[in-house]
Amino acid sequence: MKTIAVVLSGSGVFDGSEIHESVLTLLALARSGAKYQCFAPDRPQREVVNHLSGEVMEGEQRNILVESARIARGEIQPLSALSMSEFDGVIWPGGFGVAKNFCDFAVAGSDCKVEEDVLRVAREFVAAGKPSGYLCISPVLLPQIVGEGVLGTIGTDLGVAEAYNQMGGKHCDCPVDEVVVDEAHKIVSSPAYMLAGDITEAAASVESLVAKVLSWCD
């Protein structure tokens, strides 16, 4: 049975993992007969956002791992415990937690830095030739993970696409229900809520990506 690591960045689109994308990923894996294990960094979020008002909650602190446990129903481990050798692949759902907690793209744009724990895990899967899936905004990590020329997509957002290219990647426009594949590194990306207008469109994006990841595991 294939086993996939799913790395979360918190709980909630504005400061953590996009919940629909995360749950749809777990559902698509389970329906395909694969096992999964969730992971998240055990450190504070960059900021906490009130998801009702959209405002930053000044002075409030939350832990990425503790918040991610809400999505995983408590079945989650710290990212530091992720051993690449125990998994057939890895998937990174989107949400602004990627741009705030996995790196500082939300404030630094193309000058962003990816956190060391994220770099370690992501590069280990690439180096081992194991498949990686990146949803929504998470492909912005790829130029620093892989390097010059890595193919990826965040859909059709001109600003993010330009930043992706400035960082050394090669951005490819992509419809919401399709994927962009970097065969050389076994990396697949899909726009999800960067383009999705509703949960059904997000599901089509996630399911396409999960299917490609699992096909590489054979």
User: At 196, is the secondary structure helix, strand, or coil?
Assistant: coil
Write down the residue that tokens 């051993």 correspond to: 83
β-pair partners for 89? 4
In 10 A of CB 170, how many CB atoms?
16
Let me know if 136 is a catalytic residue.
Answer: yes
DSSP 129: T
In 10 A of CB 32, how many CB atoms?
15
Nearest by Cα to 173 from 186, 189, 187, 185: 189
Q: What is the enclosing helix (H) or strand (E) of 116?
A: helix 116-127
- Say if CB 39 and CB 81 are below 8 A apart: yes
Select which of 103, 136, 172, 174 is catalytic: 136
Amino acid at 48: V
Question: Which residues are marked as active site?
Answer: 136
